Amino acid sequence: MSAFNASQVDLNTASKEDVLCFLALSDNEYNGHLGARISSIFVILFVSSAFTFFPVVAKSLPSWKIPFSVYLFARYFGTGVIVATAFVHLLDPAYKRIGPKTCVGESGYWGEYSWCAAIVLGSVMIIFLMDLAAEVYVERKYGVHKDEDATGAFIQGGHQGAATVDSSYDQEKSISPGETAPTWSSDSESAMAERSFKQQIAAFLILEFGIIFHSVIIGLNLGVTGSEFATLYPVLVFHQSFEGLGIGARMSAIPFGKHTWLPWILCAMYGLTTPISIAIGLGVRTTYNPGSKVALIVQGVLNAISAGVLIYSGLVELLARDFLFDPDRTKRRSQLLFMVFCTLLGAGIMALIGKWA
């Protein structure tokens, strides 16, 4: 690169790597506005935490009497947000940093294979194996019997079933005339609740950590970005709010049981990640260069890993289990259409935000 003279380029002799890297690599673009950047730490901390905590707090405080439709909106809007994040906010940036026809993608071993696609594929397969291992472990520990007709819906729909969310939504679990409500002993109820918790928490942790990787990158970049800061700041406020709402709504559906402390820690982890990353970015604002080759590789690899995580989680854990394979899925067409509309709305808005961030 040191011998490349951009003012005298002979396309017959210049390497593709030299040209692409000259166009792609940049210097540190920090341009001041320190006060506004510091304010972004607290603004994003507040909005991301508030939107994440809201569904969890609303579930733990039945006195708020949050309408069921509000819960459904938050949950399925969040589903759309997470799916759009996987493709628009993670997969596309990964290809722009380490994919074919990029500086990194034409450099050395990176140019010999489609590594971006391979990383995404590897991430999907690893998450699949982890999910399968968690399912098998829980089933072996708690046992699965074909004659458990009464509990089958609860177990199979345990991941995301809307009808098993919480006792505060009993209108979704009404008993048909002549049908006897299933009864269980306290020990079997406790065992089922713990089994459902372990099934769901493994999938949720994978989902949250995939989003957290992404939050670290955008936080660092916001702290050091140049002229784009004025646009990126408000866009990321909405970005983090919508993602937080999706995480919080999904978390509120998990039967934490005796693990009452865990949802608060998980909410706080998401709420703190981006503000801390912004603060770190401000600490290295004159030295960290997000447009360097090393930074592009790190960002591209992390984005590709996170994309694989969220693609699997969004399509399998959320869409497939909520809409296709959940025996507790609502039979009301109007409610099902509302759930689908919320999902499409979340995906559409988050995809639109991808135009700026």
Which DSSP category does 289 fall into? -
pLDDT, position 324: 87
Give residues with Cβ within 8 angstroms of 238, minimum separation 6: 353
The series of mean pLDDT values per 10 residues for the chain, 357 residues long, is: 62 73 79 88 94 87 81 89 94 93 88 93 93 82 50 36 41 41 56 75 86 89 86 92 89 83 92 94 86 90 94 91 79 88 95 88
Give residues with Cβ within 8 angstroms of 286, minimum separation 6: 28, 30
pLDDT, position 185: 53
Give residues with Cβ within 8 angstroms of 136, minimum separation 6: none
d(CA 256, CA 55): 14
pLDDT, position 160: 40
pLDDT, position 9: 67
pLDDT, position 15: 74
pLDDT, position 167: 40
Residue 9, token pair as written in the block = 């380029």
pLDDT, position 187: 59
In the chain, where the domains are located = 17-143+187-356
- Extended strands (E) in the chain: none
